[in-house]
Structure 1
Amino acid sequence: MLVAFSVTPIGVSESVGDIVADAVRAVRDSGLPNRTDAMFTTIEGEWDEVMAVIKQAVDVVAAQAPRVSLSLKADIRPGVVDALHEKVAHVERRLAEQ
């Protein structure tokens, strides 16, 4: 499965980048395939392992902020491997045809 998620500390200073970086570090340290962009971090793996990593990222933020906002979107598609890269590659191939 793929899960795109955003974890946001609330009730801290206006700049939250350092706290968010700590959450991203927890994701990267998990060893699961992942990618971070300006809005979301996407992680790929099995349900239990992905959700455990997301919980860890939330816990990292919660340790530094009195309130945490979590948004997520999941693509649950059993048997698909490397969707993190293949979904983008498919779109890029279609764009190249036109």
Structure 2
Amino acid sequence: MRTSKPITVTLGPQLASLEARLKSGEYASASEVMRAALRALDRQDAALDDYLRAKVQASVKDPRPSVPAAEVFKRLRARHARTMKAAKRGT
């Protein structure tokens, strides 16, 4: 029984990158390139998950008192207003 399923992928500008990798001999087929790309994405996703998990754990362990949501949003609105004001001055 077949363990893989053929698919069609439209690469657009990335086709040149795939073809260069094939021409270099680094990969024997487009399928190998695509599998390597998906493995790289899986590693990237895992690294991001690990990073976010560590940030959440650090936040939970932080001994400082929590900031009420209303205060957080007040600060965010003020920061956004300053950013928008600065952007208008720049134009």
TM-score band, normalised by shorter chain: under 0.3
Greater share of strand: 1
Greater share of helix: 2
